[in-house]
Amino acid sequence: MSKKGMDANAVLLVQPGSETTATTLTALTYSLIKDPEVVAKLEVEVRGAFKSNENIKIEEVSNLSYVEACFKEWLRYFPAVPTGLPRRVCGCSSAVVPGTVFDKNLACLEMRFTLAKMVWNFDWELMPESENWVKDCKLYMIWEKPPLMVRLSRSMEQRVEVEVVVKIGRQRL
């Protein structure tokens, strides 16, 4: 495939998972902030597994059992695509290959990697205006999510006192 062809097809790899990834990471961030004991366990696992931010490797994050458990539980509770997509059959003869989306495992690995980086680098605080974030989400075919306001401050391991307020996962339909 030519460079131009690869560039043209790159969107097919990135776009389909962008909304589900944003929804999952935003909802997981909210749930973690609401449960400090879970965050403390995540910090122990992630900060104990890696000596520095630079040591966090995507292939090693998949070995973190508590990170895995958090993802599985939150995907069960707040699925990124909560309804099945309608199936249409056009009447033509074709083959349907059973299985899953080919890049689902890659997306899950990237989300675990992102979570590990967030846990390593930052301490999180939910801002008052997002206290009831999950109740303010609306479900259509996908989730309509209000902004999730979180204060991130460098973790003690970073020894830097820099604070930032960020909007995570703002989506309007």
pTM (whole model) above 0.75: no
Binning pLDDT at 50, 70 and 90, where does residue 128 land? very high
Asked if pLDDT for residue 102 goes beyond 60, the answer is no
Supply the pLDDT for residue 14.
63
Residue-averaged pLDDT of the chain: 77
The CA distance from 87 to 30, in Å, is: 32
18, 30, 158 from 25: Cα distances, Å: 11, 9, 22
Q: Looking at residue 105, what is its pLDDT?
A: 74
Q: What is the CA angle 105-106-109, rounded to 5?
A: 85
Is the torsion defined by CA of 81, 86, 92, 96 positive or negative? positive
- Residue 45 confidence (pLDDT): 95
Give the C-alpha separation, 51 to 157, whole Å: 10
pLDDT at 43: 92
| pLDDT tens for each residue of 137-155 | 887 777 788 888 998 888 7
Q: Give the separation between CA 109 and CA 17, rounded to whole angstroms.
A: 12
